[in-house]
Amino acid sequence: MNILVCISSVPDTTSKINFTADGKAFDKNGIQFVINPYDEFSLTRAIWFQEKQGATVTVLTVGDASVEPVMRKALAIGANDAIRVDTEPHDSYSTAKEIAKVIAENQYDLILMGRESIDYNGNAVPAMLAAELGWSFVNNCIGLEVEEDQATAVSEIDGGKETVKFKLPAIIAGQKGIVEEKDLKIPNMRGIMQARSKPLNVVEASGAEAQVKADEFEKPEPRSSVTLVDKDNVEELVRLLHEEAKVI
Ligand SMILES: Cc1cc2nc3c(=O)[nH]c(=O)nc-3n(C[C@H](O)[C@H](O)[C@H](O)COP(=O)(O)OP(=O)(O)OC[C@H]3O[C@@H](n4cnc5c(N)ncnc54)[C@H](O)[C@@H]3O)c2cc1C
């Protein structure tokens, strides 16, 4: 089984987010990038298929050269090889188109992705890719088994779970549950050394055009300070709500 894991390189969740002075772009200065957390769950499941069922795992990122350290981490975790589509992603649609082109030129049975990229939170690329290829698609996947060309997936739905059976090839958007957090793979020294010599192929982008262009980014208003009122001082609470918050 050939598995392609699509990885988005995203700012570390503890990063302080800023935009360029003109508000037109995300300011990458001083930002540490990591594998998108949802993609890490899917990658770990892919490595499980590699170890237990002899699958080959390729990771793919649409991005410029700055994403390569994150891709090397995926190789250190255990992926066999990597493909970088050499372009800066500009919207969900063009990203899906670039991924679709790589899939069309290769032979994959299973595409594992994350439910959502935690930077722009589009929640769109996997479904767009499925539409582009006309393949089966399971979103919010919390369990996945594959037996030859038959797969069974469990996905989270409102208030419950849904189990579906389908034939490969297919696209899966995974999340916590596809593997448990405690089972996430952390690269060891041997993996890091091996990753240095694993193939990371850079391919030219097709030039798929973005459908959406960012006009302006702005951060939410900083939260105002909190005034603590003693639980026995209802009078003071009423005064503050009346005179300062002016809500009563
Ligand atoms: C208006 C706008 C402007 C943007 N400008 C820039 C910019 O200037 N520079 C920049 O770097 N990004 C930019 N982006 C972000 C870029 O478009 C995203 O990387 C891409 O659109 C996918 O993000 P998403 O939130 O739609 O992904 P989602 O649909 O939330 O991601 C779901 C899954 O799709 C896969 N995936 C997502 N992105 C990639 C990827 N790049 N490679 C491989 N797999 C992927 C992952 O498996 C991920 O878990 C911009 C986005 C928007 C909406």
**pLDDT tens track of the chain, all 248 residues?**
999 999 999 999 898 889 999 999 899 999 999 999 999 999 999 999 999 999 999 999 999 999 999 999 999 999 999 999 999 998 999 999 999 999 999 999 999 999 999 998 899 999 999 999 999 999 999 999 999 999 999 999 999 999 999 999 999 999 999 999 999 999 999 999 999 999 999 999 999 999 998 899 998 888 878 889 999 999 999 999 999 889 99
For ligand 1, whether the C-beta of 98 sits within 6 Å is: no
Q: Which two tokens stand for residue 182?
A: 């405690």
Q: Which distant-in-sequence residues (6+ apart) come within 8 Å of 110 by Cβ?
A: 1, 2, 3, 4, 46, 49, 55, 146, 151, 168, 169, 170, 172
Listed in sequence order, the residues at least 6 apart from 189 whose beta carbon sits closer than 8 Å to its beta carbon are none
State whether the beta carbon of 94 lies less than 6 angstroms from ligand 1. no
How far apart, in whole angstroms, are the C-alpha atoms of residue 124 and residue 146? 24
Q: What separation in Å is there between the alpha carbon of 10 and the centre of ligand 1? A: 9
In ligand 1, the atom with minimum distance to the C-alpha of 60 is 43
DSSP state of 6: E
What is the 103 CA–ligand 1 centroid distance (Å)? Answer: 18
Is the CB of residue 129 below 6 angstroms from any atom belonging to ligand 1? Answer: no
CA distance 226 to 8: 37
